[in-house]
Structure 1
């Protein structure tokens, strides 16, 4: 399996309960995952566009890992999307589409319980519906958008055992959805 690029976007990683654990777990496998912390790389918020594009070109699988709050992503990720996925590089010309066929997925920590993200729940929409702009963005640049990973209920139920369970679930998600086609086929066959 080629190395997976995990772009971590958390504005305060030091106080993070889950994202810090997820990133630490991935760093235990440097042969499989390259963890790129955007807020650590760009504390001033000024993004090195060429560096980010080169990083994306080096990897076939990219995961965007972030906490979900105010029904969206952290502001640096929105800025990153606006500045890095440029015309002529990510889309819109013969030399563009550098993201074409790259596997892309979201890994999201969610404070609220999953049942609140349903048609009959408090927030009236599912997480898939609320993250549809990401799916459309990555489809637009012809990436292979994969199912998202979400771990819910961290606001009031962030126990040590639940956090450890989230790490196990996250690593299982990475194995299942981010491997090569052959690895994915073996994983899916193992599910039957």
Structure 2
């Protein structure tokens, strides 16, 4: 299965976990790592190229740190311009039908902060409903989210294990 990991981190070089994930994913032949902020520093997205990448892969992954309860802005812009009516959705927009869709999310806050009664009041699943809706609209199969939370409190060994876990997860069958 060919997997496309679309990385959206506006400052990947200073990231702890997302950079480690990217470095580890680059070691896998069947995984294509596509860094939006490196590819489009001017934020001018090449729609045809992006759509071609999607067509060439079976599993699509959005990897990002949780920013203000969503993704960094370039990933939202990417969705707006790449997932177009008549291509990704609508009566003739079937190009993504049958593909698998996964979110790989990191958060600074611990898992306990993302639940009813927690600091943020909402679970990660509740906060990612718009991504689930996108998968539904485009005919992709939404798979469970891979999340590493509380990254500020993790040791280097725990961060490395997170990267290994992500690789195992993305290579698994569902």
Tell me what 2:31 maps to: 33
Tell me what 1:42 maps to: 40
The higher relative CO (CA closer than 8 Å, separation ≥ 6) is in 2
- Shift of residue 34, structure 1, vs aligned partner: 0.6
Deviating beyond 4 angstroms after TM superposition, the runs of 4 or more aligned structure 1 residues are none
**1:118 equivalent in alignment to 2:112:** no
Alignment RMSD (CA, Å): 1.0
Supply the distance in 2 between the matched residues of 1:160 and 1:20 (Cα, whole angstroms): 12
Which of 144, 149, 152 pairs up with 1:152? 149
Which of 138, 163, 181 pairs up with 2:159? 163
Tell me what 2:140 maps to: 143
Supply the distance in 1 between the matched residues of 2:143 and 2:13 (Cα, whole angstroms): 29
Length, aligned pairs only: 174
Unaligned runs of 5+ in 1: 185-192
Tell me what 1:102 maps to: 99
Tell me what 2:131 maps to: 134
| Structure 2 SS opposite 1:101 | coil
In our comparison, the structure showing a higher alpha carbon Rg is 1
Per-residue CA deviations over 1:13-55 (Å, capped at 9, x if unaligned) read 11011111101111111x2101011111100001000110011
- Shift of residue 175, structure 1, vs aligned partner: 2.5
TM-score normalized by structure 2?
0.96
